[in-house]
Homo-oligomer: A and B are copies of this chain.
Amino acid sequence: MNQERLEKILIKLKERELKQMIISDPYAILYLTGRYIDPGERLLALYINESGGNKMFINNLFTVPEDLGVEKVRFDDTDDYLSLLCSCIQKGEPLGIDKNFPARFLLPVIAASGASDFVLSSVCVDEVRACKDEEEKEKMRAVSAINDKAMAKFRDLIREGVTEKEIASKMLDIYTSLGAEGYSFTPLIGFGPNCAKGHHEPDDTVLKEGDTVLFDVGCRKDNYCSDMTRTFFYKSVPSEKHREIYNLVRKANEAAEAILKPGVRLCDVDRAARQVIEEAGYGPNFTHRLGHFIGLEVHEFGDVSCVNEAVAEVGNIFSIEPGIYVDGELGVRIEDLVLITEDGCEILNSFCKDLDIVE
């Protein structure tokens, strides 16, 4: 159990007048214990309490290291594990509940635990997770460096007659050869008009001259996720409009990155990028938020959008990914991960953003 992280969570709980919580999100449990368990339909719960008595409830089906740094309560499917869980809950006190805790566990806990109230409190964990500590920063730098190297190799796959699927089929081996453990998400690959589709899956589309080639890709190493997008042109830039769109997206990406520092509102970061695109008349073509937080999961709590008035804090890591999409023609997106530092930001991706015509 990472005591430093636990302490920070307990402080957040106290701010909300909570002394105890059930954490069930497997990634939150990984964050605290260093151990990822996918419990499937089974109960996995970490009970924490400001006065100690922390316990982790794990089915005997799952193997865990002897020394998790927290008392383990092991059980079989046939045991009354919800009674075991209820018996450690402090009665007469409100209980924090994880946002995804399912009804089949929550309703019995409400009926039998004796807690005075049940309060959604995942945000106490999520806010702590949003500010990466030094160990996490190092891992995010390392996995992003792999993503930069992989992007260079993906660029080499752009050649006459290739299909999206063929490129897709080679990416995993490239990642693993560079030391990654796998994808952080299924790669998004688009040629030409396919780049303008929100959730296009790689298909048998054959590359042709003048196409934009969009790679939105990421890998996982040491439990942390990278995520980057670059957009190339194949052989030529078909029109001034194509060139203008590319340069606008790049300018929007850099305008947002330029104002990053602790205290800046995330909605203002979104605005900085969106304004560049709106002023050129492409506002309706930038159809999504500017970015999302990332770490143990590709999408974590926190986003960079027009409605998020929260401010950037030291240790935040999120994506900056403006895009312009023209149906039936092209799509351009340029995405980096950024880390908020004491006096600005560190851009975790260094792969070139110049307009790049691949021959």
User: A103 to B101, Cβ gap below 8 A?
Assistant: yes
Residues of B within 8 A of A106 (CB): 103, 106-107
The residue from B100, B104, B107, B307 contacting A104, defined by CB atoms under 8 A apart: B100
User: A104 to B78, Cβ gap below 8 A?
Assistant: no
Q: Could you say which of A78, A120, A307 has the most chain B C-beta atoms within 10 Å of its C-beta?
A: A120
Determine how many copies of this chain the complex contains: 2
User: B107 to A103, Cβ gap below 8 A?
Assistant: no
Chain B CB within 8 A of A36 CB? no
User: B104 to A102, Cβ gap below 8 A?
Assistant: no
Chain A: interface secondary structure? mixed
Q: How far is the CA of A103 from the CA of B105 in the complex (A)?
A: 10
Chain A, range 169-220, C-beta contacts under 8 Å to B = none
Residues of B within 8 A of A243 (CB): none
- Return A337 CB to nearest CB of chain B, in Å: 21
Do A107 and B78 contact each other (CB < 8 Å), given the known contacts A101-B102, A102-B100, A102-B102?
A: no
Please name 17 further chain A to chain B contacts, defined as beta carbons within 8 Å, in addition to the given A101-B102, A104-B120, sorted by A numbering.
A97-B103, A97-B107, A98-B103, A99-B102, A99-B103, A100-B103, A100-B104, A101-B103, A102-B103, A103-B103, A103-B106, A103-B118, A103-B120, A104-B122, A106-B106, A106-B107, A107-B118
List residues of chain A with CB under 8 Å of any chain B CB: 78, 97-104, 106-107, 110, 118-120, 122, 307
Q: What are 14 of the A-B contact pairs (CB < 8 Å)?
A: A78-B307, A97-B103, A97-B107, A98-B103, A99-B102, A99-B103, A100-B102, A101-B102, A102-B102, A103-B120, A104-B122, A106-B106, A106-B107, A110-B110
